Structures are given as structure tokens and as C-alpha cells.
Structure 1
Amino acid sequence: MSTLHRIEARPLQDRYARGWHCLGLAAQYRDGKAHRLEVFGTRLVAFQGDDGQLHILDGYCPHMGADLSHGCVEGNGLRCPFHEWRWGADGVCDDIPYAKRIPPRAKIKSWPVIEQNHLLFVWNDPEGNPPIAEQAIPRIDACYDGEWAAWALEELRIETNCRELVDNVADMAHFDAIHSAKVKEFSNHFEGHVATQVMRGSSARLSGDSELRSVASYYGPAYQITEMTGAMNGQTIHSILLNCHVPIDLHSFTLRYGVLVKKLPGLTEEQNQAMAQAYVQQAREAFYEDVVIWHSKVRIDNPLLCDGDGPVYQLRKWYEQFYTDVADLPDGLRERKSFTVCGSQAEPA
């Protein structure tokens, strides 16, 4: 019998995770224009209506297939650029200039949206169910506190399945191998829809000669917030990092990442914002280090692990809940499960 460990990879499900997905700063959609979104294997369109609310609709007109993101915002709806059918924020066609009667089936999907922490989110559920209350995006008080600089955000297109990014939650060993971050304590905690990574160590990039501490939590399948204490130029830096992704299709996703930095006394607004932007640039460099690996590696469902690896299988079991029909979810998801990889039993603050 062969003792070789053969790599296995099942075909990808033609399905996208149930949960809230972050589309970046809400303000960027408040310009009176229609915005094209390439997400979930299809095209959507986002716009602000006269009611001041942001709305998201299916991106193609079912009349003759025109791209609604080339249309114009009118009231709380969009005019199709091809034949000028108007689609309301609820997805119902409410005007056809040349028709006496609107077809009763003239309705497209209106996607649930929320704004939180100055960010726009869209809800996806392959079963078509409404948002789940317990998966609400938590408020970050620092977003509304003048002692913190505003979000500095950037985005990247990554050519791989988004599970590769989520694996980082449990992958302690790659922090040293890829990012030269020395880890002293590392643990994971899975409870309901939240997956948390607690880490203590050091990083020349983010903490200099000082200690680096972070608590990173995924809230649902695609939105991670990290509270981190590091250092820059000898000064302690308190920051909140955003790491979120939206699948474009099964083999690519848009990664959005950003930072809130607590302002340092004695610095101007411009200097504090520049510091935040410097942190974003460091995050960009770190992500590019991962991207090189992602773009050349193979997908593997049965990784061969050693005793120094994190709970990769347990993390993936947690992550599978977002691709499973609600009626088929296993018991025990709400039970807290903790795993210490190295150091003492680190718990979230």
C-alpha cells in the first residue's frame, strides 16, 4: 500500500457564500451615477436614489439585455440606456415610455444593502433568504470618533478562489515564512458566524522593535476586522484593519483592505492621514507576498498538516456553513471552539 499523500480537490460548488459582502466606502457610490459591480458570477448595479439611500439591482435589463450601469439615475430608479425602461429601487419596472401596459413580470432582483462603519454592504444568499439578524455587521465606534483618522482604503483583484484568503485565519506558520513576522502566541476561536485569530509577536514592518498584538475576527464569510497594536518610528500605533473580499466568480475575487489609525498627538490631520496611508501601503505589500503564492499554488482539500500547524480543517468546517442551506446546518455551530497553536491560551480582549 502506498504511503504517499495524494493531493485531493473536489470540483468547486457553483455557489457563493451566504452573508454580507463589503463593497468599499459608501461615499464613493454617492455621486449620482450608476456603478457597475462584477460580483457573485454576475453583474449588479449600485446607485443612490433621490431618497438618499443606496440601492443595488441586477445589472442587466431583462427586456433586451442592456447593461443598466450605462443608464441614468432617475428618482429612486434607473433608466435603461437601450429602450428607457425605468427600474425602481424595489426592482419593479414602473415606466415604459412607449407602452400602454407594463408586463406584470417586469421585475428584477433588488439586493439587500446596509451601510455600517461608512462602508456599503450587499447581502448574498443562494437560497434567496433575507439577511440573518445575528450576522449583522458590528459597529466600530472608532469610525465615528474624531480621535481616529478616516478610513484609508485600497483594493486588488486576486485570481484565485476566496477560500485561499480565509485559510490565513488558521495558518500561523506562513506569517514568519512569508511576512517575516515572528509569532509568540497564536490561537483561534470559532463561535457561530465569527472566526477569531489572536496573535502576539513582532514584525519589523508593523511594530519595529516593539511587540505586535492583534485580534482579527471574521464576521461572516467575507468581512474581517483586526484590532492591532504596533509601532512606527518608535511610537505606539493603535489601528483597526479592514480585510474583506467579494467573489467576482469562482476563480477570482476583489480584495478590499484598509486601516483606521488612532491619531497621534502633535501631528496635523494631514500627517495622521499620511500615517494611515503608510499602513495601507504596508498591507498592500504584505498581500502581494501572499498573492505570489496564491497564483502559483494548487487548490488542496486534504492538506497534510504537522503539529505546528493551526486548525485548518476546523476553520474550513466553520467556513462551510456559509455554503450550506440553512436547513442543513449542523448542530453545535454556536458552541465556542478554541485552539491554541503556540504560547499560552490567548483569548480575545
Structure 2
Amino acid sequence: MSNHETGAATDARTPPVAVWQILEKLKGQELLDWRLAEVKDRASIEERNLDIGIPFGWYPVLLSSELAAGEVKPLRYFSKDLAIWRGEDGKVRMLDAYCKHLGAHMGHGGKVHGNLLECPFHAWRYDGDEAVVKDVPYARNIPPQVKRKCTRNWHITEANRWIWAWYHPQDVAPLFDVAVLPEASDPEWTDFEIHEWNVWGSLQNMAENGVDVAHFRFIHGTANVPLGELRWGDWGRGADVKAKMGTPLGEVDGCISYDTMGPGQSWTRFTGISETLLVACLAPVELDHVHVRFCFTQPKAQAEGERAGVAKAIIRDICKQFDQDKVVWDRQKFEPNPIICDGDGPIPQFRKYYARYYADQDAA
């Protein structure tokens, strides 16, 4: 009888993939450092077929609390250098970073002048709403080329304690809104507990993970997870997965309900053992680099009560599963013509749906 037939191939002493071998050695600060460190020996974007563009949508770029009134910060997302600031009126604005005068990066050393962004080099002052130069303090006349729109100004909104930027390669106005999650601002729920990763891969591969049921056994060491009741909307999708969950007090009815709105906003509600909301914030830095922040909030009565240990354990387990997926994503290529088995889940259906987020509709 073969090893496959006896089950020896899946013996706990034989890790099915490199995931276990890598992560079992990482603890504490070493694990946190690994989550953010660059994977330097990865193949090129072209070799991995990751040059399919960035899907359009709303993406989280900063926590609202990270940008005070009168503050300017540099950002790098969407393969672009950006300058973001909060005016004296409290409104957040963002422009492409480089001044049209002599190319200074306005996110480094730029100032807020009222509600305008002032370049650190020669104090040219940009209006973030109109994307024009409003003032050149040392000149009698503003050059006509910059009195009309001369740079890209970004659509910005704030929701769920985050600043969101709308990305579209053709600068098309937003086609849908950021979903507002009431728990994120509920005083009866905890402040966000945030965990952070750099994934050296693409949003496309990461998104497909949710419908790839076969990987749960081999990457996460669990039985195949049911897809639940799938929902396919115009711009968002989701599912409700109902399951029996074991607790010290016996089995309880639990539910994992996840939703997305575009490629950059995903949230999951866990009920049953300990109520938890995960706001998964994903933003592409480059074609092969996604910045990920998981924001967890729980009812204070549970997170700070006698079952606080259970609440913490749920967060640890979710992060552990993301670590396991990251090992694969960091070197995964995009396979445009995958060979699919009958137990893989609805990957072709998902790809057809996800293609709507690419401006040319032919990327995925």
C-alpha cells in the first residue's frame, strides 16, 4: 500500500509545504520583523506575470489619527510618489508628489499654508481640490501652465478611522463608495488592534485565496472549509460560513461572514465564540508589493472581561493563518491559464467577477 493510501504523506512530521518549516522558527519580534521585511530573492514582476495592472477602487493609505491638521506626509502607493496633507479646515487632500517647478518632492519638507500645500523648495503653493498653483510668493505672475490643472489630485474620503484614496489608472471618478462599518466608531467596541504585513505579491493572487477551498488543508492544516452562501454584488462580494465551534463549554453555533467592497476593502465578522470585526486594509505599493494592515475590534465587554483570553486567541489564529498564506504569496506567480480541479472552488467564476476592477477588463 502506498504512503498516499495510508496517509503517511500527511503525517505531522512531514510538513506539506515550506510554510511550517519557515514559521515554526519565528517568534516574538523576529516574527514581526519577518512580516515587514523585503523578500529579496523573489523573481521579477514580468517572470511572475504580475504586470497586469492595479485594480481600481478605494484603498486605505493612512489611519485618520496619523495625519494631524497642518501636517504633510510622503506616501508611496500605486507605483507613485504622493504627498498627503490635512488642511487647517480638517480636510485631507493628496497630490502626486513632485512639484511642476523643479521637481522637488513636496511630501518631504512641504508645509501646509492654510489649506494649500507649499513646496519646500521655492514655496509654490498648490490647491489640492483644483490641482493648480494658487501662489508663487516671489513672482509677480503665476505661469499659465500651472494656473490650470497641472497635476493629479486624488479623491479622498474618511471612514472607519481610515483615510481612503480612490485609484483608477485613467483617473475616472469613484464608481462606488467606501462601506461604513458602525462597529469601527462604536464607543462600546475596542480601539483597533493593528497587525501589519508587506506581501511581495499581487492583490489578484491574494483575493483568489478566499475561494480556493483546497488550500485550507495543506497551508492551514484544517479540513476543507465550506464556501458558505456566496454573494456577488455589483462592486462587492461576500459569503456567510456557518459552522459548529468547540469551546470549553461545548459546541456553539458560529458564523464567519466576510464582505468586500472593491479590491482594497475587506471586512469579516466572527460570531459564536467571541464577537470580532476584522477590517482588512490592503493597498498596492508596487505591482509586486501590497501593504496590509489588519484592524481588529471587539466588544469591550468581551475583550476586557473574563473571556479576554478567548478574544485574544481568535486574533492570534487569524494572524497565524495570514502568515501562512504570505509564505506562498511572496513568491507566487499569476497563472493566467490555470489547470483547475473539481475540488478547487469557483476560481474561474471569481476571476470573471474580479476582472471588473481592471480598467481594460482583460487583465485577469
Same fold (TM over 0.5): yes
Residue 91 of structure 2 corresponds to 53
From 89, 99, 112, the equivalent of 1:73 is: 112
Residues 182 and 203 in structure 1, CA contact (< 8 A), matched pair in contact too: no
Residue 316 of structure 1 corresponds to 351
Residue 16 of structure 1 corresponds to 54
1:123 lines up with 2:166 in the alignment: yes
Q: Do the aligned partners of residues 104 and 278 (structure 1) sit closer, same or farther apart at CA in structure 2, a change above 3 Å counting?
A: farther
Distance 1:150 1:40 in 2: 28
Residues 202 and 208 in structure 1, CA contact (< 8 A), matched pair in contact too: no
Q: Give the Å deviation of 1:280.
A: 4.6
Structure 1 segments unaligned to the other structure (5+ residues): 1-8, 231-235, 330-349
Distance 1:239 1:289 in 2: 21
Q: Do the aligned partners of residues 66 and 277 (structure 1) sit closer, same or farther apart at CA in structure 2, a change above 3 Å counting?
A: farther
Residues 142 and 148 in structure 1, CA contact (< 8 A), matched pair in contact too: yes
Residues 176 and 183 in structure 1, CA contact (< 8 A), matched pair in contact too: yes
Q: Do the aligned partners of residues 74 and 283 (structure 1) sit closer, same or farther apart at CA in structure 2, a change above 3 Å counting?
A: farther
Distance 1:299 1:23 in 2: 25
Q: Give the Å deviation of 1:302.
A: 2.0
From 259, 264, 267, the equivalent of 1:222 is: 264
Residue 233 of structure 1 corresponds to none
1:114 lines up with 2:160 in the alignment: no
| 1:93 maps to amino acid | V
Residues 240 and 261 in structure 1, CA contact (< 8 A), matched pair in contact too: yes
Residues 152 and 276 in structure 1, CA contact (< 8 A), matched pair in contact too: no
Residues 55 and 168 in structure 2, CA contact (< 8 A), matched pair in contact too: yes
Distance 2:64 2:350 in 1: 30
Structure 2 counterparts to residues 1-349 of structure 1, below 5 A: 11-13=49-51, 15-30=53-68, 32-70=70-108, 71-90=110-129, 91-106=131-146, 107-132=150-175, 135-183=176-224, 185-187=226-228, 188-201=230-243, 212-230=254-272, 236-264=273-301, 267=304, 279-325=314-360
Distance 2:342 2:104 in 1: 55
Percentage of pairs with the same residue: 29
Q: Give the Å deviation of 1:208.
A: 10
Distance 2:62 2:222 in 1: 28
Q: Give the Å deviation of 1:160.
A: 1.0
Distance 1:34 1:56 in 2: 9
Residues 260 and 276 in structure 1, CA contact (< 8 A), matched pair in contact too: no
Q: Do the aligned partners of residues 110 and 297 (structure 1) sit closer, same or farther apart at CA in structure 2, a change above 3 Å counting?
A: closer
Query: More strand by proportion, 1 or 2?
Result: 1
Superposed CA offset, 1:303-324 (max 9, x none): 2222221111111111111113
Residue range with higher mean Cα deviation, 247-256 or 192-201: 192-201
Distance 2:303 2:200 in 1: 42
| 2:190 maps to amino acid | A
Superposed CA offset, 1:34-57 (max 9, x none): 121111111111111011111111
Q: Give the Å deviation of 1:201.
A: 4.1
Q: Do the aligned partners of residues 265 and 54 (structure 1) sit closer, same or farther apart at CA in structure 2, a change above 3 Å counting?
A: same
Distance 1:165 1:198 in 2: 19
Structure 2 segments unaligned to the other structure (5+ residues): 1-46
Superposed CA offset, 1:221-250 (max 9, x none): 2211111125xxxxx311111122111111
Residue range with higher mean Cα deviation, 25-34 or 158-167: 25-34
Distance 1:160 1:10 in 2: 9
How many residues are treated as equivalent by the alignment?
A: 309
Distance 2:352 2:303 in 1: 47
Q: Do the aligned partners of residues 61 and 184 (structure 1) sit closer, same or farther apart at CA in structure 2, a change above 3 Å counting?
A: closer
| 2:112 maps to amino acid | V
Residue range with higher mean Cα deviation, 288-297 or 196-205: 196-205
Q: Give the Å deviation of 1:13.
A: 4.7
3-state DSSP of counterpart to 2:241: strand
User: What's the TM-score, normalizing by structure 2?
Assistant: 0.76
Distance 1:10 1:286 in 2: 23
Superposed CA offset, 1:78-97 (max 9, x none): 21111221112222211112
| 1:224 maps to amino acid | S
Distance 2:73 2:337 in 1: 40
Q: Do the aligned partners of residues 191 and 208 (structure 1) sit closer, same or farther apart at CA in structure 2, a change above 3 Å counting?
A: farther
Residues 296 and 315 in structure 2, CA contact (< 8 A), matched pair in contact too: yes
